[in-house]
Amino acid sequence: MTDQDKRLSRRHFVGATGAATLAGLAGCSGGGDGSDGSDGGDGGGNTLEVLHAWTGGDGARAAEALVSAFDEEYPDVDHEFNPIGGGGNQNLDAVVANRLQNSDPPSSFANWPGPNLQRYEGVLGEVGDVWESEGFEDVMVEEAVDLHQYDGAYRGVPLGSHRLNCLFYNTSVVEEAGVDPDSLTSVSALIDALETVQSETDAIPMTHGASGTWTTTQLFASTMLGQEGYDAYMSFIDGSPDEAAVRATFESLAEILGNYINDDASSIGLTESNQNIIEGNAAFIHQGNWAAGAYRNAEDFAYDEDWGFKTYPGSEGMYMLHFDSFLYPSDNPSPDATEQFMAFVGSEAAQVAFNQYKGSIPTRTDVDMSQFGPYLQETQEDFASADERPPNLQHGLGVPSETMTTLNDVISSEFSGPYNVDAATEGFVDAVSN
């Protein structure tokens, strides 16, 4: 015990000076402003250090908007926002894990709430007083209230939300095939439509980027929700899966993936796959609505004219939930500044600044959406009025990260072509069962 304590306190000291110099050097390299360095040295533990993984494109722009909004609200807080690039969130997770392991935590880091918090057991602090003083419980959707608590205390604050049960399409391709996307209200109707696209056009019916397994796991979740319904999906997530429902979902997936996707699916990622929609090579894609960011950035590719959105067939009236949140490590190097930052993250100013660029929506339900485009405004309406907001499976809210890893291992070994329905069903049922 005493050894441990000693180590902790030493590390704490190291962390503080480390953060200070980090800030100092970044000041130098950023603006060439040498005075920052000495400020950092004096300020010591007060420098706010935030880690996130928004390094490219929309994400980087959104992060910039967040920082400048923060500067406006809290001009006196010394801060250092460090984007950690590489491997999706992998490198961020590794860096965060390493620093938490060494008792050298950052002030805050971006991550998912929900069961995902389990992997940070014992290293997260509490921000309940921020929730209280800012009145977040009254303005956030109720799922946000639930999912940001772990062990009876608030561990972080949500910044924005993406929607998972989305089906996007290229308008001219579906028109050419004579398919009306709005009429697709069941997974079997979707499969029929894919067949129609296949026979009527040269386009890929459904484009899929499966170089990582996560796209398929994500598709499983939406398909299960759409085909087997909310209750079946929720009992799967909660650890009492209905084997028949899982099997039926995989059977539909095997039909879709086995017949209607692009030949190079297993060697391309989300971006190339999404490119197929933009270039008119494919009719449909299932993705989280971050995919829409690419449409907005593409030239001459307008919502409702060139591309369209349909709630994933069968899941109408539901909003499969995703949160981008900031978590609060215990042993915090800058407790005061971090609490200010936490209060800021949940504020309207932050959520508007960030989400309009990120292509996501605020988690508050009282936000003026006028600065957002028509697509996100509709998403926000769906969000606020949804009958159910089930948590996603692949992005931390549904199952702990360990279960998620197992699910992806199953997809990798049994369901990346050839599609082994039996083995995948067994693997998924085993993985989530309590």
Residue numbers 415-434 binding another protein by CB under 8 A: 416-417
**Least CB distance from residue 141 to another protein, whole Å?**
26
b/e burial code for range 124-135 (CB count within 10 A of at least 16 → b): bbbbeebbeebe
Residue 195 vs 272, nearer CB to another protein: 272
For 293, the enclosing helix (H) or strand (E) is: helix 291-297
For 431, the enclosing helix (H) or strand (E) is: helix 421-432
Residue numbers 269-328 binding another protein by CB under 8 A: 269-272, 275, 290
Residue 82 vs 235, nearer CB to another protein: 82
**Least CB distance from residue 245 to another protein, whole Å?**
24
Q: ∠ CA 408-168-412 to the nearest 5 degrees?
A: 15
Is residue 434 exposed (0-12), middle (13-18) or buried (19+ Cβ within 10 Å)?
exposed
- Pick the binder of another protein from 68, 98, 183, 371 (CB under 8 A): 98
Which region among 66-74, 87-95, 316-324, 354-362 touches another protein (by CB under 8 A)?
87-95
**Least CB distance from residue 398 to another protein, whole Å?**
18
**Least CB distance from residue 167 to another protein, whole Å?**
20
Q: Answer yes or no whether residue 82 interacts with another protein by CB under 8 A.
A: yes
Q: Answer yes or no whether residue 59 interacts with another protein by CB under 8 A.
A: yes
Question: Following DSSP, what letter does each residue of 193-213 receive, concatenated?
Answer: HHHHHHHH-SSEEE----SST
Q: Answer yes or no whether residue 33 interacts with another protein by CB under 8 A.
A: no
Q: Answer yes or no whether residue 83 interacts with another protein by CB under 8 A.
A: yes
**Least CB distance from residue 416 to another protein, whole Å?**
5
**Least CB distance from residue 293 to another protein, whole Å?**
9
Q: How many residues does the chain have?
A: 434
Task: From 158, 106, 96, select the one nearest 130 (Cα to Cα).
Answer: 158
Residue 94 vs 302, nearer CB to another protein: 94
- Pick the binder of another protein from 12, 39, 44, 55 (CB under 8 A): 55
Pairing of strands 156-160, 324-327: antiparallel
Residue numbers 106-145 binding another protein by CB under 8 A: 119-123
Q: How many residues bind another protein (CB under 8 A)?
A: 68
Task: From 323, 358, 295, 278, select the one nearest 57 (Cα to Cα).
Answer: 358
**Least CB distance from residue 162 to another protein, whole Å?**
13
What is each CA distance from 179 to 110, 202, 227, 276, in whole angstroms? Answer: 40, 14, 20, 18
For 338, the enclosing helix (H) or strand (E) is: helix 335-345
Encoded tokens for 218 = 């994500």
Residue 48 pairs in a beta bridge with 79
- Pick the binder of another protein from 39, 64, 93, 331 (CB under 8 A): 93
Given the rule CB under 8 A, which residues bind another protein? 4, 10, 13-14, 17-18, 21-22, 24-26, 28-29, 37, 41, 55-59, 82-88, 90-95, 97-98, 100-102, 119-123, 210-213, 263-272, 275, 290, 401-402, 405, 408-409, 412-413, 416-417
